[in-house]
């Protein structure tokens, strides 16, 4: 038995290679007529308290049909509670949840046209793979013949042919994940909710499954809402990301905007690595703003559009900080910010190397540089260097 499972692992690896794009097998059935500009799902000022704890604090969000949307945040931020309200397992205390214009906030879970893929998969241990997938179809009163057809379709979709008679505990983790996905997709929901869909998989399988999920979502044209605490996962898969913290939805943006234009210092630190310098904004001159910082002297940043009030942080991503032995000329690459210091730490990561530079003020700046050549002209710990970056690459964030 254990051998069989092992034998099927190479199949999984092979299956993980990008598939050819085929016409959609399952067209999402949409009995709801959407107006051209109408979002499929509209969450309006939804709030939920558990005792005195505000799990979800007046969140509003629109999700368009066909979107791959990710709710990202640390554990306890309310993202799972929000997802469970979409599935109907929790009822909002306030606000509305409109699906195709109809308020479903108080509709019972078994009467909603949405399906969920559970974090622990929640496969029925007493039912075979086939019966797990057919469960929702039987409840919908589908004819026996149609159920057989649909189950076969689903098994093919997640490449589990031949496993129909197996019980969940006879499957590997990756296979169980596929069964859970097939079961949730079988009813052709208008929205598929995925609760940490990849958390239980090992790293290698997680990466291939990410690609498969994206591929599947595009092929089915279905709306996916995924909850995750893993920012890389969210960035890779989602077309838009909503970042949640302490029950609030802090920013909704594309992965690129989230990374390059985070709305707050908290988000800047949560998504990726970043260098931060606290300081006071000074005078603007020629589209550039001078910020006098405690640790890095005066830094020049491109003047932000919004007005600043009080103390700010100048933020710069490590890969936008360059190193050189001598200070570049002023006109070279717009290098307005030059910080001198000593390299204290070198982390070689293969494709790139991260250097920690200790400034004379005592503060540390991280710089990540791509190793574009084999014979790298590397910097060594203890070397004096100039870390420089342009004013365009800097962000100014409120404290």
Partner 1 sequence: MSARRIFARPARFAAIAPYLWMVLFFLVPFGFVLKIALSQTAIAQPPYVPVFDFMGGREAITAALEQLSFDNFKLLVSDDLYILSYLRSLTVALVSTAILLLIGYPIAYGMARLPQRWQPVAMMLVIVPFWTSFLIRIYAWINILQHDGLLNTVLLKLHLVSAPLVWLSTDSAMYIGIVYSYLPFMILPLYATLAKMDVSLLEAAADLGASPRQAFWQVTVPLSLPGVGAGALLCFIPIVGEFVIPDLLAGSDAMMIGQTLWLEFFTNKDWPVASAVAVVLLVLLVAPLLLYERLQHRQLEAR
Contacts with partner 1, residue ranges (CB under 8 A): 1, 87-89, 108-111, 115-116, 118, 120, 122-126, 135-136, 139-140, 167, 169-170, 183-184, 187
Q: Least distance from C-beta 209 to partner 1, angstroms?
A: 20
Q: Please state whether beta strands 94-99 and 102-103 pair in parallel, antiparallel, or not at all (unpaired).
A: antiparallel
Phi and psi at residue 197, to the nearest 5°: -65, -20
CA–CA distance, 276 with 176 (Å, rounded to integer): 43
Task: Give the single-character DSSP code of 182.
Answer: H
Instruction: Tell me whether residue 50 or residue 124 sits nearer to partner 1 (CB atom).
Output: 124
Instruction: Tell me whether residue 102 or residue 204 sits nearer to partner 1 (CB atom).
Output: 102
CA–CA distance, 288 with 299 (Å, rounded to integer): 10
CA–CA distance, 268 with 274 (Å, rounded to integer): 7
Q: Least distance from C-beta 84 to partner 1, angstroms?
A: 9
Instruction: Tell me whether residue 171 or residue 301 sits nearer to partner 1 (CB atom).
Output: 171
- The counts of H helices and E strands in the chain are 9, 20
Instruction: Tell me whether residue 48 or residue 317 sits nearer to partner 1 (CB atom).
Output: 48
Instruction: Tell me whether residue 7 or residue 110 sits nearer to partner 1 (CB atom).
Output: 110
Q: Least distance from C-beta 240 to partner 1, angstroms?
A: 24
Q: Least distance from C-beta 86 to partner 1, angstroms?
A: 11
Buried b (16+ CB within 10 A) or exposed e, 142-169: beeeebeebbeebbebbbbeebeebebe
Residue 62: partners with Cβ closer than 8 Å, 6 or more residues away: 39, 41, 42, 43
Q: Least distance from C-beta 138 to partner 1, angstroms?
A: 9
Do 390 and 336 touch, CB atoms closer than 8 A? yes
Instruction: Tell me whether residue 183 or residue 240 sits nearer to partner 1 (CB atom).
Output: 183
Instruction: Tell me whether residue 88 or residue 318 sits nearer to partner 1 (CB atom).
Output: 88
Q: Which of 41, 80, 74, 60 is nearest to 197 (CA)?
A: 80
Phi and psi at residue 138, to the nearest 5°: -65, -40
Per DSSP, the three-state class of 364 is strand
Instruction: Tell me whether residue 112 or residue 206 sits nearer to partner 1 (CB atom).
Output: 112
In the numeric block, the tokens 């949560």 are attached to 270
Q: Which of 191, 186, 113 is nearest to 155 (CA)?
A: 186
Q: Least distance from C-beta 60 to partner 1, angstroms?
A: 24
Beta bridge partners of 98: 42, 103
Q: Least distance from C-beta 132 to partner 1, angstroms?
A: 9
Phi and psi at residue 210, to the nearest 5°: -55, -50
Q: Least distance from C-beta 182 to partner 1, angstroms?
A: 12
């Amino acid at each position: 038995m254990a051998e069989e499972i092992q034998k099927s692992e190479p199949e999984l690896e092979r299956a993980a290679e990008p598939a050819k794009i085929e016409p959609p097998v399952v067209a999402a059935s949409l009995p709801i007529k959407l107006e051209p500009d109408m979002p499929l799902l509209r969450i309006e000022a939804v709030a939920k308290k558990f005792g005195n704890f505000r799990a979800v604090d007046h969140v509003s969000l629109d999700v368009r049909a066909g979107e791959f949307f990710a709710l990202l945040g640390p554990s306890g931020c309310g993202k799972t509670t929000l997802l469970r309200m979409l599935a109907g397992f929790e009822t909002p205390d306030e606000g509305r949840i409109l699906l195709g214009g109809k308020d479903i906030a108080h509709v019972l879970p078994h009467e909603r046209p949405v399906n969920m893929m559970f974090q622990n998969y929640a496969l029925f241990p007493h039912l075979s793979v086939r019966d797990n997938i057919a469960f929702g179809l039987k409840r919908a009163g589908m004819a026996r013949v149609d159920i057989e057809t649909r189950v076969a379709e689903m098994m093919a979709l997640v490449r589990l042919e031949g496993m129909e008679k197996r019980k969940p505990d006879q499957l590997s983790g990756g296979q169980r994940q596929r069964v859970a996905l097939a079961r949730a997709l079988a009813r052709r929901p208008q929205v598929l909710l995925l609760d940490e869909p990849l958390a239980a998989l090992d790293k290698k399988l997680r990466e291939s499954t990410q690609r498969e999920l994206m591929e599947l979502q595009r092929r089915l044209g279905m709306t996916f809402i995924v909850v995750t605490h893993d920012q890389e996962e969210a960035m890779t898969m989602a077309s838009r990301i909503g970042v949640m913290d302490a029950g609030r939805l802090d920013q909704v943006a594309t992965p690129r905007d989230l990374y390059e234009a985070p709305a707050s210092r908290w988000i800047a630190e949560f998504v990726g690595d970043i260098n931060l310098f606290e300081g006071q904004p000074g005078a603007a001159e020629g589209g550039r703003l001078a910020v006098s910082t405690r640790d890095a002297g005066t830094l020049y940043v491109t003047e932000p559009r919004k007005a600043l009030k009080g103390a700010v942080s100048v933020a710069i991503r490590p890969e936008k900080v360059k190193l050189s032995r001598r200070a570049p000329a002023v006109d070279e690459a717009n290098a307005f910010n030059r910080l001198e210091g000593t390299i204290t730490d070198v982390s070689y990561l293969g494709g790139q190397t991260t250097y920690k530079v200790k400034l004379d003020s005592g503060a540390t700046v991280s710089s990540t540089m791509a190793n574009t050549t084999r014979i790298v002209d590397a910097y060594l710990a203890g070397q004096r260097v100039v870390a420089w970056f342009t004013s365009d690459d800097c962000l100014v964030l409120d404290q």
